[in-house]
Amino acid sequence: MQGRAPHQRPVLDLSISPNAKRTEVVGWHDGALRVRLAAPPVDGAANEALRRWLANELGLTLARVELLRGASGKRKQVALDTDETTVSGWLAQLKVLR
């Protein structure tokens, strides 16, 4: 029996601005996707809100969105357990990035 090759998970570099009125992508900042987040940066609330928002935006379960780096900072890396086509399609439909 042959094992399946592990697939590469797309990783998003994010620059987060917490305490916004609503959660939304607002463009690029220093090579990272800039996201305003409607959650306070307290006790991991912003990280959880970010994971939930990304899961919802991309049609993924919460378990398929993993925070890799930046738990306590504004700069974060998130791995997505999906294919690159899904992520690039999502990015392409964001009007603010056109």
> Do 42 and 35 form a contact (C-beta atoms < 8 A)?
no
Residue 1 lies in a domain: no
Q: Is the pLDDT of residue 47 over 70?
A: yes
Residue 6 lies in a domain: no
For residues 63-71, give the mean pLDDT: 97
Non-local CB neighbours of 81 within 8 Å, separated by 6+ positions: 9, 60, 63, 64, 65, 66
User: Band of the pLDDT at 90, cuts 50, 70, 90?
Assistant: very high
- Calculate the average pLDDT of the chain: 94
Supply the pLDDT for residue 98: 86
Residue 5 lies in a domain: no
For residue 15, what is the domain's CATH number?
3.30.1200.10
Q: Is the pLDDT of residue 4 over 90?
A: no
Residue 53 lies in a domain: yes
CA–CA separation, 6 and 2 (whole Å): 12
For residues 12-40, give the mean pLDDT: 97
Domain encompassing residue 47: 11-93
Residue 71 lies in a domain: yes
Residue 98 lies in a domain: no
- Count structural domains, the chain: 1
> Do 18 and 41 form a contact (C-beta atoms < 8 A)?
yes
